[in-house]
């Protein structure tokens, strides 16, 4: 199946825009997905042949508000602050003005709208500048299993895979048969590289991810390819490169790269999820669902699985 265009077409029906939005979501093109969903809502509400209740109007407005808020959060998380340099025609718009109109469509009073927008601005500023979630350089001694487990999650979030591994191992040692220990074992198996990784590889992978997040596609691709060449047993660059290739429309090559990642670590949940997205974009829904099952078998608590499954199922039924 032909992949969605890089620019959103004009004059489509509500159903066509929604389908595009779902496919952009699977590709990882969040801003195009948000715009497609917004146009779907607008076309649906403007179509006299579609009977729309007040509840549905509010639901559609709520979806648009959520999509716009997601876009604003993604911008706030970018380190390079190049908000006006995007190629998709959305970055130059003020998301807060759009959110105001969407809140009003939800029948929120004007004074509450202003208060909510003010709170969102403050929260996003804190998100951009806060260093509260940066974990300590050295793993503390004497923590409980739960504290070591949560610290392991923070290390993983910071991209410090070996600190995460050590912290999770301490959680397992402190509670080998208990709930926390079992959670730590699962996280270690599914979310941490299968083999120890040098710090230089961790840093390069983080740099590549930041390049990808900033849409510096060429640099990110080169970074991940260099990592794969230098550290062939490190599965994360394969997963990141697979995600990048899906977003850039190179789905077939992405699937081959993701298969290599899964050969290294068959419990690598993110690789299964990326592969499911790629297969769904090629309309191989049965194979995509099998990938989701493998991901769920590895980590039944991963909330991303359900979200992707719902998108794939809606596309399959269209």
Report domain 199-317's class: mainly alpha
User: Tens digit of pLDDT for each residue in 262-317?
Assistant: 999 999 999 999 999 999 999 999 999 999 999 999 999 998 899 899 999 999 98
| Tens digit of each residue's pLDDT (9 = 90 or more) over 85-101 | 233 333 334 556 666 66
The number of CA neighbours under 13 Å toward the Cβ of 18 is 16
Quick check: 88 and 32 in contact, CB under 8 A?
Answer: yes
Please identify which residue in the block is written with the tokens 């959305």. 90
Contact 170, 146 (CB under 8 A): no
Q: What is the pLDDT of residue 144?
A: 98
pLDDT at 85 (0 to 100):
27
Cβ atoms of residues 169 and 193 within 8 Å:
no
DSSP secondary structure, 118-136, as one string: HHHHHHHHHHHH--TTPPP
Spatial distance between the Cα atoms of 117 and 96, rounded to a whole number of angstroms: 7
Phi, psi of 42 (to 5 degrees): -65, -45
Provide the pLDDT for residue 90.
Answer: 31
Determine the pLDDT at residue 188: 97
pLDDT of residue 133: 65
Whether the CB-CB separation of 268 and 242 falls below 8 Å is answered with no
Averages of pLDDT over runs of 10 residues in the chain (318 residues) are 84 88 86 82 68 51 51 45 30 54 62 70 58 82 97 90 96 96 97 94 92 91 98 97 95 98 97 97 96 97 90 90
CA distance 100 to 210: 30
Based on the number of CB atoms within 10 Å of its own CB, is 179 exposed (0-12), middle (13-18) or buried (19 or more)?
A: exposed
DSSP sequence for 43-89: HHHH-TTS---HHHHHHHHHHHHHHHHHHHHHHHH-SS--TT--SSS
Q: For the chain, what are the domain ranges?
A: 14-129, 145-191, 199-317
């Amino acid at each position: 199946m032909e992949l969605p265009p890089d620019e959103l077409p004009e004059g489509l029906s509500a159903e066509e825009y929604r389908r595009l939005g779902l496919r952009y979501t699977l590709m990882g093109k969040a801003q195009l997905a948000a715009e497609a969903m917004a146009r779907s809502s607008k076309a649906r509400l403007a179509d006299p042949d579609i009977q729309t209740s007040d509840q549905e109007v509010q639901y559609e407005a709520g979806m648009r508000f959520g999509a716009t808020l997601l876009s604003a959060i993604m911008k706030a998380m970018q380190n390079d602050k190049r908000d006006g340099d995007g190629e998709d025609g959305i970055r130059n718009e003020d998301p807060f003005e759009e959110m105001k109109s969407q809140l009003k469509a939800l029948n929120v009073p004007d004074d509450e709208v202003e208060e909510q927008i003010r709170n969102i601005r403050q929260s996003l500023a804190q998100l951009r500048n806060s260093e509260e979630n940066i974990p300590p350089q050295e793993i503390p001694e004497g923590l409980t299993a739960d504290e070591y487990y949560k610290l392991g999650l923070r290390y993983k979030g910071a991209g410090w895979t070996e600190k995460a591994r050590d912290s999770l191992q301490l959680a397992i040692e402190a509670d080998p048969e208990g709930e926390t220990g079992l959670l730590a074992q699962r996280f270690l198996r599914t979310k941490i590289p299968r083999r120890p990784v040098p710090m230089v590889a961790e840093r390069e992978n983080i740099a590549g991810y930041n390049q990808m997040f900033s849409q510096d596609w060429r640099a990110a691709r080169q970074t991940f390819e260099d990592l794969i060449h230098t550290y062939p047993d490190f599965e994360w660059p394969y997963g990141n490169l697979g995600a990048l290739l899906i977003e850039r429309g190179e789905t077939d090559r992405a699937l081959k790269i993701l298969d290599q990642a899964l050969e290294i670590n068959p419990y690598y949940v993110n690789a299964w999820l990326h592969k499911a997205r790629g297969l769904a974009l090629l309309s191989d829904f049965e194979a995509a669902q099998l990938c989701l099952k493998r991901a769920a078998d590895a980590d039944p608590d991963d909330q991303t699985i359900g979200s992707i499954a719902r998108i794939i199922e809606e596309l399959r039924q269209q």
